[in-house]
Structures are given as structure tokens and as C-alpha cells.
Amino acid sequence: MELKTDALLLRTTDYGENDKMVTLFTAERGKIGVAMKGVKKAGAKLRFAAQPFCFAEYVLAERGGRYTVTAASLHDGFYPLREDVERYYAAACVCETCDALLLDGIVNPTLLVRAVSALKEMEGASAPFALVKFLLSALTAAGYPVSAGDCPACGNKLGEKLYFDLSSGSFFCGECAVGTPASPSTLSLIRLAMGEKGEMTADGVRRALKMLRAYLVYQTEEKFSILGEYIKTL
Ligand SMILES: [Zn+2]
């Protein structure tokens, strides 16, 4: 059976002398493992389709539940992301997040669209801020939205003293004090990333990414080690 699907390459593993096993985030079947034969050879026709962040229409042959790529036509290779270490790691965090949020059998085309637009944005704009925006939208698409409005317990506006609760994904005021202490710079940055009024500071970006990572780890029980390393470089 043949399947034609738009997909983003999330990660690759070397396999045999010339082959790779790749994890594709497909629009139609969610996350699947796929064999790519001969792609490590110089001049291989499908070499481009086994590169990090490749977004393409993949043609897959299915046999007994195993997939092999037989053809691919490129939508976007996001080449500028491969030429800049900071952007490369931010993009790798996007792929790591999709990988962790997509359990087997989960189909989430909205998340795919958001991942591809985040990669596009990272080519030009501030990569760390684009990553914050992506993580917020990915969390929403996966059913773990972050809430940064008024305090959900008492309804008061959030002030200088505030808390973030990992189980509900909400900020709380200093009086209600649910969760662990958070900084106003984090809240301000998160609000800005949500398209509301807020302020961007380097400290706010770093803290927001740290908090979002803690929230992702809490919700998925995955490690998010690439994101952890990336935050250390900021
Ligand atoms: Zn409160």
C-alpha cells in the first residue's frame, strides 16, 4: 500500500551502512518510524529528505505495518536554521517537543502546522522568543494550555508577587500562592508571546522557557533534554 503525506522530519537514527530510520510527524497518521534506504550514500536521490527539519510530501510504501520512503518532494528545508547554531538548537527543541507530545496513534495536524510556522519564523526573528510562542501553542494544541489571565482562585489581577502551578498551567496571585514562585518578567514575556500586552527581556525569555520546560516535563514525563541544554546557552 502507498501513502502520500505531508510530514516534518523529527529525528533520525543511523541504521546499517547506508540507511537511516527516521521519525516523521505526518499530517495523517501522527508520528511514525520510517526506513530510508541508501540515503547516507553521497549523491543519494533522497538524501535531502533525511536531513533535520525537512518538511516535505513523503511517499511511503507500507508492508506489514512497516514504512519505507520511496519518494519525497520538498516543501521547505529550512536551510538558514542549519547554518546558525543558536537557531539550529531552537529548531531542534521544536522537533523534540512534537516528538514528546505525540504519543503513538495521536493525529494532530494543528500541531504540525504550528511547528512548521515556528521553524519559518526562527529563520528571521528572535529564535528564543519564537520558541516560547511555539511551546505555548503546542501546549494548547496538546490539551495543556497555559493560563496567564487574572488569578483563577480569587479573580484578582496578578501583581509583583505571583506563582505558577504545574498541575493546572495557571499563574496565581501572591495571596492564593498555588504552585511555585514565578517572576513578573516571566508573566510579562508569556503574555507578550500570547499576543497580549507584555515586555520582552532576555531574563524573561530564559525564565519563561525554564518554566515551560518544567510544565512540559510535568505533563508528559519526558526529559526535554535538548530544551534543557538550549536554555543553558541563553
Ligand atoms: Zn488569587
- Answer whether 90's CB lies under 8 Å from 125's CB: no
Residue 157 Cα, ligand 1 centroid: separation in angstroms?
8
What does pTM read for this prediction? 0.95
Domain range list for the chain? 2-77, 84-145+183-233
Q: What are the tens digits of pLDDT across the range 184-234?
A: 999 999 999 999 999 999 999 999 999 999 999 999 999 999 999 999 999
Q: Which fold has domain 2-77?
A: OB fold (Dihydrolipoamide Acetyltransferase, E2P) (2.40.50)
CB of 17 closer than 8 Å to CB of 40: yes
Residues 58-93 pLDDT 10s? 999 999 989 999 999 999 999 999 999 999 999 999
**From the CA of 221, how far away is ligand 1's center (Å)?**
28
> In the predicted model, what is the mean pLDDT of the chain?
95
The CA distances from residue 11 to 54, 94, 180, 190, in Å, are 10, 11, 34, 28
Q: How confident is the model at residue 110 (pLDDT cuts 50, 70, 90)?
A: very high
- 37 Cα: distance to centroid of ligand 1 (angstroms): 57
What percent of the chain has pLDDT above 90?
A: 94
Q: How far is the CA of 172 from the centre of ligand 1 (A)?
A: 5
Contacts 24+ apart (CB under 8 A), 181-188: 182/207, 182/211, 183/207, 184/160, 186/211, 187/148, 187/158, 187/162
| pLDDT (tens digit per residue) in 129-167 | 999 999 999 999 999 999 999 999 999 999 999 999 999
CB distance 119 to 53 below 8 Å = yes
Q: How far is the CA of 173 from the centre of ligand 1 (A)?
A: 4
How far away, in angstroms, is 152 Cα from ligand 1 center?
Answer: 7
- Distance from Cα 166 to the centre of ligand 1, integer Å: 16
Q: Whole-angstrom Cα distance, residue 44 to residue 46?
A: 6
